[in-house]
C-alpha cells in the first residue's frame, strides 16, 4: 500500500480560509497559518487514520523546527476519497471540526497588586515569533467498538451506550442553534458517525449501527 499526498486547489484553500475567518476569530486574529494536505491510498486501506482507526481528517501542531522550514503552524490531513463524496456543507463542517482542535495557549496577564478586575489572558509566542498552540479534545467521544461484542450483546453493548451518549450531546448542541450559522445539517438529528476515531469500518459494526439507528429513529432527549 502507498499513500500519496497533494496540495489543495484554490477553491479548497478559499473554503478553509472562509471557515477559519467565520468561526475561528481567535486563530484569525493571531494570524495562525494552517496548511491543508490531501491524502489518498492506492488500495482500500484508509489513507488517514487516527488512533489506528480510519478518519476523515486529522490535525496536528507543527513542531518549532518544522515551522521554520514549512512556514505554517498547524497541518490538516484530509482523506481525499471521502472529501470527494462530501457535500459542500459537510466539507465546511469537517474543516470547522478540525480547526476546533487547534487551541491557542493562554497565559494570564500579571496585574499590579490590588488589581480587582477580570483576569486577562494572552497567547505567548515561540522562538520564531509564532503563536504557541496546543490540541484541544472534542466535547465528547463515542469510544471504540468491537463487532464481536456487539454481535453477542446487541443493544446492551457498551459500544451502543457510547453512541447513545454522543448522539444525545450532539442533539443538544444542534438544539442550541449550532447548525443555524450557514451550515445545513442532515435534518435527521442523527450524527453521521461514519469514518471517525470511534469507527472500526467493519461491515458487522456498520450493520449493527444501522439497526440501532432504525430502532431509535424517534429518540428524543
Task: Give pLDDT, residue 220.
Answer: 35
Nearest Cα to 79, choosing from 54, 56, 58, 45?
56
Which band of pLDDT confidence, cut at 50, 70 and 90, is reported for residue 44? confident
- The predicted-structure confidence for 80-109, as pLDDT tens digits, reads as follows 999 999 999 999 999 999 999 999 999 999
Q: Give me the residue spans of the domains in the chain.
A: 3-135, 147-215
Residues 6 or more apart whose Cβ sits within 8 Å of residue 215: 155
CATH of 3-135, one of 3.40.50, 1.20.1510, 1.10.150, 3.30.2010: 3.30.2010
Instruction: Quote the CA–CA distance of 24 and 17 in Å, as a whole number.
Output: 10
Helical spans, DSSP H, in 85-157: 88-100, 147-153
**pLDDT higher at 26 or 177:** 26
**pLDDT higher at 7 or 221:** 7
Which band of pLDDT confidence, cut at 50, 70 and 90, is reported for residue 43? confident
* Helices and strands: H and E segment counts in the chain: 8, 10
Is the pLDDT at 201 greater than 50? The verdict is no
| Residue 179, all three cell numbers | 447548525
Which band of pLDDT confidence, cut at 50, 70 and 90, is reported for residue 211? low
Strands 74-79 and 34-41: parallel
Instruction: Quote the CA–CA distance of 59 and 179 in Å, as a whole number.
Output: 22
Is the pLDDT at 217 greater than 50? The verdict is no
152-161 average pLDDT score: 90
**Lowest mean pLDDT: which of 19-23, 28-32, 93-97, 196-200?**
196-200
Beta bridge partners of 133: 104
pTM above 0.85, yes or no: no
Q: How many CB atoms lie within 10 A of CB 104?
A: 19
Phi and psi at 78, nearest 5°, equal -120, 135
Task: Give pLDDT, residue 205.
Answer: 45
Amino acid at each position: 500500500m502507498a499513500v500519496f499526498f497533494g496540495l489543495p486547489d484554490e477553491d479548497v484553500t478559499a473554503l478553509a480560509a472562509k471557515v477559519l475567518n467565520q468561526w475561528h476569530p481567535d486563530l484569525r486574529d493571531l494570524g495562525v497559518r494552517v496548511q491543508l494536505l490531501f491524502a489518498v491510498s492506492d488500495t482500500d486501506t484508509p489513507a488517514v487514520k487516527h488512533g489506528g482507526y480510519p478518519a476523515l481528517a486529522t490535525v496536528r501542531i507543527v513542531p518549532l523546527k518544522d515551522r521554520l522550514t514549512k512556514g505554517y503552524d498547524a497541518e490538516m490531513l484530509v482523506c481525499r476519497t471521502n472529501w470527494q463524496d462530501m457535500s459542500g456543507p459537510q466539507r465546511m463542517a469537517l474543516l470547522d471540526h478540525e480547526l476546533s482542535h487547534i487551541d491557542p495557549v493562554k497565559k494570564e496577564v500579571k496585574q499590579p497588586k490590588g488589581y480587582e478586575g477580570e483576569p486577562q489572558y494572552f497567547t505567548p509566542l515561540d522562538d520564531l515569533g509564532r503563536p504557541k498552540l496546543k490540541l484541544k479534545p472534542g466535547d465528547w467521544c463515542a469510544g471504540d467498538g468491537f463487532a464481536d461484542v456487539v454481535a453477542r450483546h446487541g443493544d446492551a453493548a457498551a459500544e451502543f451506550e457510547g453512541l447513545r451518549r454522543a448522539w444525545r450531546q450532539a442533539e443538544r448542541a444542534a438544539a442550541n442553534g449550532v447548525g443555524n450559522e450557514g451550515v445545513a445539517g442532515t435534518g435527521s438529528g442523527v450524527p453521521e458517525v461514519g469514518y471517525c476515531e470511534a469507527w472500526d469500518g467493519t461491515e458487522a459494526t456498520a450493520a449493527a449501527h444501522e439497526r440501532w439507528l432504525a430502532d431509535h429513529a424517534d429518540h428524543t432527549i
